Structure 1
Amino acid sequence: MIVEAPVEVSPPPHRAPDTFPHVAVAIPCGTMVHADFAVSLGSMMHALGEMPMSIVVGKSSIVADARNMGLDFAQKHKADYILFIDSDMTFPRDALLKLLVRNVDIIGATYSRRTAPFHFLGDILPEQPADAPKGLLEMARIPTGFLLVKATVFEQLRRPYFRFRVDEEAGVNIGEDYDFSDRVRGLGFRIWCDPLLSKEIGHIGEQSFKL
Structure 2
Amino acid sequence: MALAAVAYMCGPQHGTETIPLAITNAKGSLVVNNRNRMVAEAQKLDVDYIFFVDSDVVLPNWALHRLLAADKDIVGGTYVQREEPHLILGKTLDGTLIHDSMQGMEIKPNELMEVGALPGGCMLVKMSVFEKIGAAESPIFQTPARREDDGTWWIEGEDYYFCRWARQSGYSIFLDWGLSVHLKHVGQQHNTIPFKEAPNALVN
TM-score interval w.r.t. the shorter chain? 0.7 to 0.9
Q: How does 1:129-208 map to 2 (within 5 A)?
A: 135-157=111-133, 158-168=137-147, 171-206=153-188
2:9 is aligned to 47
Number of matched pairs: 163
The answer as to whether partners of 1:89 and 1:201 remain within 8 angstroms in 2 is yes
> Residue 206 of structure 1: CA displacement?
1.8
TM-score, normalised to structure 2's length? 0.76
d(CA) in 1 for partners of 2:43 and 2:172?
A: 22
d(CA) in 1 for partners of 2:56 and 2:82?
A: 11
Q: Match of 2:127, as an amino acid? A: A
2:90 is aligned to 122
TM-score, normalised to structure 1's length? 0.73
Structure with greater proportional strand content: 1
Higher RCO (CA 8 Å, separation ≥ 6 residues): 2
Q: Provide Cα deviations, 1:9-68, integer angstroms capped at 9, x if missing partner.
A: xxxxxxxxxxxxxxxxxxxxxxxxxxxxxx111111111113110011112211111111
Q: Report the identity percentage.
A: 37
Structure with greater proportional helix content: 2
SS in 1 for 2:140: coil
> Residue 173 of structure 1: CA displacement?
0.7
> Residue 124 of structure 1: CA displacement?
2.0
The answer as to whether partners of 1:124 and 1:137 remain within 8 angstroms in 2 is no
The CA RMSD measured in Å over matched residues stands at: 1.7
d(CA) in 2 for partners of 1:160 and 1:169?
A: 25
SS in 2 for 1:192: strand
Q: Provide Cα deviations, 1:107-153, integer angstroms capped at 9, x if missing partner.
A: 000001111112210012259xxxxxx60111111100000000000
The answer as to whether partners of 1:167 and 1:174 remain within 8 angstroms in 2 is no
Q: Structure 2: any 5+ residue segments left out of the alignment? A: 12-17, 97-109, 190-204
d(CA) in 2 for partners of 1:106 and 1:124?
A: 15
Q: Structure 1: any 5+ residue segments left out of the alignment? A: 1-38, 128-133
2:32 is aligned to 64
